[in-house]
A and B are shown apart, each in its own frame.
Chain A
Amino acid sequence: MTDVASLIPLNPRDYLILFSLVEQDRHGYGIVKKMEALSRGSVRIDPANLYRSLKRMTRNGLVEETLPPQTAEAGMERRKYYRIRPLGREVVELEALRLAELTAAARALELIPGGEPA
């Protein structure tokens, strides 16, 4: 069993991949587009590195391959869909908490606007 703590902090790319799978199962193209939307276009991943990351995360038990959902468009049978596993969700939650704490700290120092001082 992979130790959750050993996976934190996640690198930004892995974080975005896991984050994009929280809402729903997605295929490679869906993950890339969601990552672009989440990062407002600042993070773009190439196909080889996306699948390399997915392979590593599958091995670590964070995600798993799954069948296309019933609502998938026709002709999408050749695409592999990915689903986040409980361990992956736990990791992404911990990472989000860590980032939230960092953000709160930044607000406390008035590095970024908004919120109450901590």
Chain B
Amino acid sequence: MRSKSRRPLAVRLYALLTRLLPAEPGGGYADDATTLFEELHADAVRKHGWTAGWTLWAHSAALLIGCAIRERSETGTGRRRGGGPMGTVLQDVRYGVRTLAKRPTFAMTTILILGVGIGATTAIFSVVDAVVLRPLPYPDAGRLVHFTRGSHSFPAFRAWLRVSSFESLAAMRDYDVALTGGGTPLRLRAVAVSPDFFRTFGGAPHLGRLFDAGDYPGDQSVAVLDAGLWQRYWGGDPSVVGRTIVVDGQPAVVVGVLDPIFRTPERETGNQVDIWFALDDGGVSADDHDYHELGVIGRLAPGVSLEVAQAEVDAQQQAFAEQFPSDYVTRAGVIAQVPLVLLCEATVRQVSSTLLTLLGAVGLLLLIACANVANLFLAHGTARTREMSLRAALGATRLRLAGQVLTESVLLSLAGGALAVVLAFGGVELFARFNPGGIPRIDTLAVDVRALAFSALVAMLTGILFGMLPAVQAMGADVDDALKDGAQALTVSRGGRRLRSGLVVAATAPSYLGSRRRGALLGKIERRDCFGNTGPSALDSMEGRAPWLCPMRIRRMTLTRAERS
């Protein structure tokens, strides 16, 4: 039996909707319907793919909502007129639904704007949060620094080990190996690591042990398995520790399995590691500075700043330059430096500026959405001034009028919010599904509930605030004027006109800014696409990866580039 947390998104959303069904003494049939939907959804996805799954969801969800409305009307939930405050609210809800149904264009536009505004902002913020903002999952991750400028030589690494600014240094070299000896050979991603690697990152064994001093210099005779490979290939069998496996035709003893919670730096940059070996540096002589094959990451000693460590590394490079000028001095006579960068910056540097630009763009989108919703409500409110004045003239209290308008605003906001939830979850799922690879930390992607709540709150408050306007106007309006026939009765006060003009400016300005920003964003993509590629291939791959990008725009970008060159 599948656990509820592992159910597909469509099933979870369906289960959420079953809460619309009225509560019944026997428990109702919400769970039964969800279980059946899960089975039918699995059938549809298996036979016709995931689009069929979502089509089934849309169909079943619509019928479920209809079913819930009929159930509630049959059980008499909405039949109590004048039954205290609750009866008033229900009456307002019924009246509100009828009013909105009479103006479907207004209702649908508002719901769509709210949904897209909130949903897109949440989806992009969730991606930015998962990829850029969330700290790396290591103890004291702010002390981890990356030695940039590609890979480094063994002698350089040995010399850096003596730099006092670092508490520990980790070197790693990745390569492919073949696991044989048990049926079909399996190609694995292997990483050979220096003795302090796991200490630097705080890695721990799930089973057995990690490498110790006796395993060095390594020769691929002892191996630590990644938890993923252990589950995939050995089905989580604990007896694998101590067993001899055949890697590249050579026997290797499995000494341990890595803790599944531990996320390696490779995994943080979107790559999987299957098996770990102790690093072998026996064959490299002390003055062979030409052979670069190690990635190096260091942990700063407590209280040591990046600048101090950089100065020490620079001094070391200076010493190398004097000793081995052919390896460390460029043709221009400049000493090759190794800039140190905080690991968190190095991990996401390729994509952070693009994603943050995108976040800025969708922030503007939310602003535009709010301004547009406010404008729609104002226009709607002006059109209803007569109705409100009439109701006031017939004896409706201010509280009653305000309550009615508030109910309509809340109804629209809730519908927009529901659409936003679907768009946010769907958007994030699409982003993860179409990930072309190379985006760091994409596997931790999930909808950020705080962002969803924030966007929803901002958009809903806008709706409620501006939705109240007809009631406020009705309170101040002259009933005689308002009830006169003809359009002149529906004039707007000077204050109202100013407010609407302001909102038009508020809606247009971000649109303009957004278009300018989008230009900058596309310019950035032209130079380097969001996956770090540069040059003409970056744009070519963009065409393949972003079919939704207007072909005209791509052509224009291509032309511009051709003109420049």
Contact = CB atoms under 8 A, between A and B. Distances in A.
A100 B438 CA distance: 66
A75 interface: yes
Contacts of B71: 52
Given A46-B63, A47-B37, A52 B1 contact: no
Contacts of A79: 35
B480 interface: no
Given A46-B60, A55-B29, A32 B67 contact: no
A51 B33 contact: yes
A79 B70 CA distance: 25
A49 B36 CA distance: 11
A52 B29 contact: yes
A32 B1 contact: no
Given A52-B67, A78-B35, A47 B1 contact: no
B35 A32 contact: no
Contacts of B18: 48
Interface string B67-96: 110110000000000000000000000000
B21 interface: yes
Interface in B218-254: none
Given A47-B37, A47-B40, A48-B18, A28 B63 contact: no
Of the candidates B32, B33, B63, the one having the most CB atoms from chain A within 10 angstroms of its own CB is: B32
A55 B74 CA distance: 13
Interface string B1-35: 10000000000000000100100000001001111
A98 interface: no
A51 B32 contact: yes
Contact of A28 (B1, B35, B64): B35
B64 A48 contact: yes
Nearest to A52: B67
B59 interface: yes
Contact of A47 (B36, B68, B70): B36
A75 B32 CA distance: 15
B1 A50 contact: no
Contacts of B34: 47
A10 to B, nearest CB: 18
Contacts of A55: 29
B396 to A, nearest CB: 38
B29 A46 contact: no
Nearest to A50: B36
Contact of A49 (B39, B40, B63): B63
A80 B26 CA distance: 14
Contacts of A54: 29
Nearest to B71: A52
Contact of B67 (A28, A29, A48, A78): A48
Contact of B40 (A32, A51, A52, A78): A32
A63 to B, nearest CB: 13
A80 B27 CA distance: 13
A21 to B, nearest CB: 15
Interface string A71-90: 00001001110000000000
Contacts of B37: 46-47
Contact of B59 (A28, A46, A75, A80): A46
A60 to B, nearest CB: 14
Interface in A31-80: 32, 46-52, 54-55, 75, 78-80
Contact of B1 (A46, A49, A75): A75
Contacts of B64: 46-48
29 contacts: A28-B32, A28-B33, A28-B36, A29-B36, A29-B40, A32-B36, A46-B37, A46-B59, A46-B64, A46-B67, A47-B32, A47-B34, A47-B36, A47-B60, A47-B64, A48-B21, A48-B33, A48-B60, A48-B63, A48-B67, A50-B33, A50-B36, A51-B29, A51-B32, A51-B33, A51-B36, A52-B67, A54-B29, A78-B35
For the complex of A and B, list the 4 residue pairs with the smallest distance between their C-beta atoms, beginning with the closest. A51-B29, A47-B33, A48-B64, A48-B67
Given A28-B32, A29-B40, 4 more contacts: A28-B36, A46-B60, A52-B70, A80-B32
Interface of A: 28-29, 32, 46-52, 54-55, 75, 78-80
